[in-house]
Amino acid sequence: MRALLDSLYRLSGVLAAVGMVATLVLVASGVLARPLGIYLPGTDDYAGYAMAACGFFALAYTFKHGEHIRVSLLLERVGPRMRAALEWFSLAAGTAVAAMLAFYAVRMVLQSHEFEEISQGVDATPLWIPQLSMAFGSVVLLIALIDDLVMTTLGRAPARLATHSGEAARME
């Protein structure tokens, strides 16, 4: 199960990287085409979709690397038992928020498909297609938070993805 979850988090990171490269290619092609008098319809819209996809796909991957911003001012000043309780509470609250985000993101995709909503741009893209990245990224983040919450509840350290150098990611 651990290998499957880690593969899911890595896939999410790879998709985020693809979204970042797609954003670069779309923006650069639009900028370079303008002086040549070439109009590339939809590049701005698709660059925006790719940028949003990049952000949502990266959520679980960065979380599992311990790279989300943490405010540890209070945690540094309490004992180990209180720190463990606060960590668990933070994971539980984060899981609840991620569950709501995932629920409404999936619901939005389903409603956009049902009502056949399309973008306002010249390309008239069905909106459920770019919204899938938000739903997928939110669901994978929820899975990552549940993973850490279960591990913490069982008294085990949450599993972190290894860095490129093979060392465990640092926790702040």
Interval 56-109: pLDDT, tens? 999 999 999 988 877 778 888 899 899 899 999 999 999 999 999 999 999 999
Distance in angstroms (rounded) separating the CA atoms of residues 172 and 161 = 15
DSSP states of 51-83: HHHHHHHHHHHHHHTT-S----TTGGGS-HHHH
pTM: 0.88
Residue 133: its pLDDT value, please? 97
